[in-house]
Structure 1
Amino acid sequence: MQQDKTAMIGGGFLNENLTPPRFNYNTYNYYLNVTIFPCLEIAYTCTLFKVTSQWGVQSQMGKFTNQDRYFSLRLRVLKEEQFFKYMPAAVLGTSDPFTESRGGEIMPSGDGGNGYFSRFYVAMTKHIPVNKEELGLHVSYLYNRRNDYHLNGIAGGITYSPSMLSDLKLIAEYDSHDILIGMNYLLFHHFLVQAMMQKGKYFSCGLTYLIHLK
């Protein structure tokens, strides 16, 4: 999780292989993420819809005319080394937990309606100093009820921050379906550049502006 009282405003390019099947084209998103308390992080994300042969007015074919909107929440229930030295942090989280389509539904199911990015998860994280560098170990369990975006099961990842470039974070992870490799780099203490490759060939990227409110 981010430092307490951190606000992030950003957006990115999403390869179609990174998004649910409803987005069968490359798209973009933008979001606001705020860490309100040391243990609570809330985000609001919008992902752009494009008119296709199945959706929208044919005269607007290929244009971005709408957007999917959803909230995300992460609650840290335990912090690293809270009770002993090697204790990992534990987080409960969800994204897109509720949809108003089909009369309103928590944890949307099936493959109809909205709630495209719906998931619930529990995660554990531990950062280990290695000389002057840092290694992060992450493991989680993901669950949702959608048939068209069935990312259920164990996920995990490793992050590495070299001592020569402490603002650089190299990432390798498994999201219960695919392997992704990527990097984050913080420029001038405020601009976070993000890039990733899914399956070694599908590229996505983003840029975020960080503001520390205290």
Structure 2
Amino acid sequence: MLMILSFLFLAGSIKQIHAQQYTGMSGLIHVPSADMDKAGEIRIGAHFLNKNFTPDRGFNYGGKYNTLSHYLSITPFSWMEIGYTCTLQKGKAINIDGQVLEGAPRLRFKDRYFSIKIQPLKENKWWPSIAIGSNDPYGTSSRTGTGKENDKTVNGDGLSQYFCNFYIAATKHFSLQNQVVGIHLAYRTWKRSYNSKWNGPVGGITFQPSFQKNLRLIAEYTGNEVNVGFDWKLWKHLLLQSSLQDGRYFTGGICFCMNLL
């Protein structure tokens, strides 16, 4: 027990943790928050997404499937965060002439999107931090798509921007005997109707114990299910996140983070 406690204390420097890690942005698990990384912070990582975590279209070639995302994000200013995420999609191989080849579909295609978050109000003793943001804000503008999404090799459905959503979030932290409790509320709207189960008020609670503030326990309501999990920053640069969607389905990942300033 003494060795375990010693490891917990020595695992890394005590810093705030804010990781909506499947996108590479700060936040909770599936739910955004008004937290921000420090200016100059960059993240490079990968995340496993179980099939219940992904949108119901675009990731259902012959039925929904587990997949992976990888990302790069940076906080150029203390009030702005930008990310670029790629999520792998199943599909059959095609040749240079565009012909579909025989064989089983594999994770050979990528859905790519940018994310942005801006924090116009920082947290203070008397008020919460406020942030507005979006994942995948720019892409196919029409509801029927451009036609490129209908390529049968990637199970196109005519609707791109699978992860497109917009939100406003508020976050307030409270110190209780040197332990930190975070209250996070947000209102989120998704562009595509197949993601409507995650529309509306969402939020969560985080808890950082006094003996290891690099560890953050998370419980959140996504608008459709309750997720629980944790993230843990080790040795200053390694950030782990593990969660159970709806208390049952594992999703988790790892990223390397450092500050350039």
How does the TM-score come out when normalised to structure 1? 0.90
Check conservation: 2:120, 2:130, Cα contact below 8 A: yes
Give 4+ residue runs of structure 1 displaced > 4 Å after superposition: none
* Amino acid across the alignment from 2:119: R
* Amino acid across the alignment from 2:47: G
Counterpart secondary structure, 1:166: coil
* Amino acid across the alignment from 1:74: K
Answering whether residue 159 of structure 2 is matched by residue 113 of structure 1, we say: yes
* Amino acid across the alignment from 2:74: V
Superposed CA RMSD: 1.7
Length, aligned pairs only: 202
Q: Which residue of 1 aligns with 2:11?
A: none
| Identical residues among aligned pairs (%) | 40
* Amino acid across the alignment from 1:73: I
Residue number among 70, 76, 87 corresponding to 2:113 in the alignment:
70
Structure with greater contact order relative to length (CA < 8 Å, sep ≥ 6): 2
* Amino acid across the alignment from 2:226: I
Q: Which residue of 2 aligns with 1:27?
A: 67
Q: Which residue of 1 aligns with 2:139?
A: 99
**Which structure 2 residue ranges, 5 or more long, are not aligned?**
1-35, 93-98, 148-156
Rg larger for: 2
Distance 2:246 2:252 in 1: 15
* Amino acid across the alignment from 1:198: Q
1:62 shift after superposition:
3.1
Q: Which residue of 2 aligns with 1:208?
A: 255
Answering whether residue 199 of structure 2 is matched by residue 155 of structure 1, we say: no
1:114 shift after superposition:
1.1
**Which structure 1 residue ranges, 5 or more long, are not aligned?**
105-110
Distance 2:158 2:175 in 1: 46
How does the TM-score come out when normalised to structure 2? 0.74
Q: Which protein is richer in strand relative to its size?
A: 1
1:58 shift after superposition:
5.8
Check conservation: 1:51, 1:57, Cα contact below 8 A: no
Check conservation: 2:146, 2:158, Cα contact below 8 A: no
Counterpart secondary structure, 1:210: strand
* Amino acid across the alignment from 1:59: E
Distance 2:100 2:243 in 1: 33
Deviations 1:94-128 (A, max 9, x none): 00112147359xxxxxx732100000000000011
* Amino acid across the alignment from 2:80: L
Answering whether residue 233 of structure 2 is matched by residue 186 of structure 1, we say: yes
